[in-house]
Amino acid sequence: MARLIYILNGPNLNLLGQREPEIYGHTTLADVEGACAALAKDLGLDLRFLQSNHEGQIVDWVQEARGTAAGIIINPAALTHTSIAILDALNAFDGPVIELHISQVHKREAFRQHSYVSQRADAVMAGFGTHGYNLALRQMAHLLGYLCASLARPRQNPHRPATEPHPPCAQGPRASAASAPERQRPRSSPAGQTAGNDRPRGWVQSVP
């Protein structure tokens, strides 16, 4: 199985640590990349950490990931709310996708609560600050099976009942005994809605 994870960052995240630090904090994107690289090494994963202010470049990276990567973690920034092109590119990627936001977007302006990417994402993480990158990377490792002792054994039937437990984990953080639900893309719903039963499976959100 491929061990490469793409972490993609959208517009203005190159200014992380300088732009609105009262919202996004003082940690720079270089700091985040360094922390992710160290954690990826511990988890046995390879990392490609990228940032662009241009929608087309991010689409190109998602398409590139189709042939090389096991999973994508993406902080689309402002493109979250506008980019059908990124959504279409992600829909062509077969591995797990985690959508990430540094701030708690659901406590901010109404337009920030609309996400096209959420219609594809297997999990959405918001409000954990830059630490959310580490949390997303650990969850990605869990989704891919790198935290579990069963890695060396044949994969279980992906259609097993949701109540069947995973084997005990051999390394990394302790995981829930309940198995993760089979990855499914959310059914069609009004763009950006993630409340109630329309939330993508695996939704993660900090408590206000």
Known catalytic residues are 24, 101
* Alpha-helix residue ranges (DSSP H) falling in 51-168: 55-65, 84-91, 131-144
Rounded Cα distance, 97 and 149, in Å: 23
Q: How many CB atoms lie within 10 A of CB 65?
A: 26
Burial of 193: CB neighbours in 10 Å, binned 0-12, 13-18, 19+: middle
What are the distances in angstroms from CA 198 to CA 33, 86, 188?
Answer: 32, 20, 9
120 close to 89: Cβ distance less than 8 angstroms: no
At 199, the amino acid letter reads: R
Do 4 and 70 form a contact (C-beta atoms < 8 A)? yes
Which position has the token pair 């990124």? 86
Question: Largest Cα–Cα distance in the chain?
Answer: 48
Structure tokens at 93: 């990627």
